[in-house]
Amino acid sequence: MISHNARLVVLASGHGSNLQAILDACSAGEIPARVAAVISDREKAYALDRARNAGIPAIYFPWGPYRQAGKDRQAYDSDLADLVLTYNPDWVILAGWMRLLGNSFLGRFPMQVVNLHPALPGTFPGTNGIERAWEAYQNGEIQHTGVMVHFVPDEGVDNGPLIACETVPIQPGDSLETLASRIHAVEHRLLTAAIRSLIIKSPLPVQRTENNKGD
């Protein structure tokens, strides 16, 4: 029987579909862990509702009061790290977390912070990766995009050591919406597989290709 002793803290800023994939995989025993807490910098993030519905601590931790008090990002990141540490996580998962984290946070969790990004390594770092890939396809610059899961060891943007990635071809009949739907499906699967691989210490193949033709 697989032990479920690993503890995850998930940081999410939005709808939380990747969080839900993690929750479902934990519930099904596919990930030998449990989500100890979900933290969001946005009060109305549906990710917090998903956590509450699952009986998991859901914490709103906004940046605004720090800015209004004249405090810098380092103060916010340090206090956020203190909050996360109260849940004693084995892994901190960034599942749609839209704020850059500085070294005052990352230094407290060396090689424990894992990020999901909807692009391949070295392409479209930062926000709106799917939309930017779609524009590049429309301009004839690329024929595929992808998804990657990587460690976040420092303040670099989407360039940490790779855990797993998967290529997603852009099909001639794709719209932005159908491409995004297929990318999200890969995100859910690849993120949960990557978390499982970290916990059971069984590395995934770094590169796979998603061949689905539909949406």
- As annotated, the active-site residues are 117
Give CA–CA dist 165/170, Å, rounded. 16
H-type alpha helices, the chain: 17-27, 46-53, 64-68, 73-85, 103-106, 129-138, 176-200
User: Which DSSP string do the residues of 28-39 spell out, in sequence order?
Assistant: TTSSSEEEEEEE
User: Which of 140, 81, 75, 87 is closest to 113 using CA atoms?
Assistant: 81
Cross-strand partners of 34? 7
Query: 94: which strand partners?
Result: 11, 115
> Helix-strand-coil percent breakdown of the chain, rounded to 5?
35, 20, 45
Distance between start and end Cα atoms, the chain: 36
The tokens of 20 are what?
């839900």
Task: Look at the chain and count its residues.
Answer: 215
Q: Which two tokens stand for residue 59?
A: 């914490």
